[in-house]
Chains A and B, each alone.
Chain A
Amino acid sequence: MNILSLFGKRGESASVAKNRLQILLAHERADDGSDAVLISSLREDILAVVAKRVAIDPDSVRLEMDRTGDVTTLGIDIELPSAKAS
């Protein structure tokens, strides 16, 4: 028993747990592996487009999907070689 519970403060960790689980499971249930396939094809396409103009290391292209609520964002992070190096 901590001092807060003496004043009737309710813990909130259970509702945080419930929220996290609901969001996670909604995604896991819908995940049929198609996201991974999409990301990997997008990555290849982007790599090809950029490589036409700039010599880049294939490993320097990073794609990330982030889902918060109903919105899915796609983040593309490409590390370009410095002017001197190219």
Chain B
Amino acid sequence: MSNATVVVVTSGKGGVGKTTTTAAIASALAKEGYQVCAIDFDVGLRNLDLIMGAERRVVFDLVNVVRGEASIKQALVRDKKLNNLYLLPASQTRDKDALTEEGVASVISELRMYFDWVICDSPAGIERGATLAMRHADEAIIVSNPEVSSVRDCDRIIGLLDAKTKIAEDGGRMPKHLMITRYDTERAKTGDMLATDDVVDILSVPLIGVVPESKDVLKASNVGLPITLSDENSPAAKAYTEAVRRLLGENIPVTIPEEKKGLFGKFFKGRAA
């Protein structure tokens, strides 16, 4: 029987933090004790394996499963730290039609039986890979930077979520959550960056979290650990952990965790800006 909640992490624009968000959310959910599977839909340009530190253990991938060349259980890669967290990697094939609508439908419905949460990492763009990633989702996390092109692309994606998904075609409405990443409180305060309220106003999607710009995100990706596992005290990790509590239904106000800075750090930050 299906019991998993399928979440798509999507944005339209590339480089805004979909993969970072997928890895962070999936591992934070796993830390809560849920059975979690993260799927990389970016066929041809897979990277979730690298961000999760599983790149050397990938044998089979999503395309092998869709083509019937491997079973789902063979293709799933278990996380090295959390034994209830799994990754279904994308393939590196250059054939962009490698994923079929029916194939993806059957993979998702099988995963629903094994897991509590299935987190789909969408490729950038609005083409096949992106529409297949969102197709069977129960909820969507829309990732945006506080920047005009990213916000505009999110608006396109919201249009697709309300038109091209199974839920939409069945007359329902996709529940959506907005995750703002690479946020700089200082710059928003001085009016040089769109503030969280501005982005929420424009997109009319409720906020699930605000991830501050943080050096820890790059450090975590360097060592192949989701930010929520590499450094729990990092402001970015805190933001993701809070977002997961909201995803789980907790009604807590959105805060913007900040880097702790001494007087010395503040002085130099002021100088560098």
A interface residues with partner B (beta carbon < 8 Å): 1, 5, 10-15, 17-18, 20-22, 24-25, 28-29
Give chain A's interface secondary structure class. Answer: helix
Residue from B155, B188, B195 in contact with A25 in the complex, judged by beta carbons closer than 8 Å = B155
Q: A18-B201, A29-B159 given as contacts; is B191 within 8 A of A1 (CB)?
A: no
Contact yes or no, B148 A1, CB < 8 A: no
17 further interface pairs, Cβ-Cβ under 8 Å (given A18-B194, A21-B152)? A1-B271, A5-B190, A13-B191, A13-B192, A14-B191, A14-B194, A14-B195, A15-B191, A17-B147, A18-B198, A20-B148, A22-B202, A24-B152, A25-B155, A28-B152, A28-B155, A29-B159
For A5, the closest partner residue in chain B by CB is B190
User: A15 — which chain B residues lie within 8 A by C-beta?
Assistant: 191
User: B194 — which chain A residues lie within 8 A by C-beta?
Assistant: 14, 17-18
Contact yes or no, B201 A1, CB < 8 A: no
Nearest CB on B from A25, distance (A): 5
Nearest CB on A from B121, distance (A): 25
Q: Using a Cβ–Cβ cut-off of 8 Å, how many residues does chain B contribute to the interface with A?
A: 20
C-alpha spacing A37/B273, complex, angstroms: 49
Contact yes or no, B191 A21, CB < 8 A: no
B interface residues with partner A (beta carbon < 8 Å): 147-148, 151-152, 155-156, 159, 188, 190-195, 198, 201-202, 270-271, 273
Nearest CB on A from B186, distance (A): 10
Q: A1-B270, A1-B273 given as contacts; is B191 within 8 A of A25 (CB)?
A: no
User: B155 — which chain A residues lie within 8 A by C-beta?
Assistant: 25, 28-29
User: B201 — which chain A residues lie within 8 A by C-beta?
Assistant: 18, 22
Q: A1-B271, A18-B198, A18-B202 given as contacts; is B190 within 8 A of A10 (CB)?
A: yes
A-B contacts, 29 of them at CB < 8 A, read A1-B270, A1-B271, A5-B190, A10-B190, A10-B191, A11-B190, A11-B191, A11-B192, A12-B191, A13-B191, A13-B192, A14-B195, A17-B147, A17-B148, A17-B194, A17-B198, A18-B194, A18-B198, A18-B201, A18-B202, A21-B148, A22-B201, A25-B152, A25-B155, A25-B202, A28-B152, A28-B155, A29-B155, A29-B159
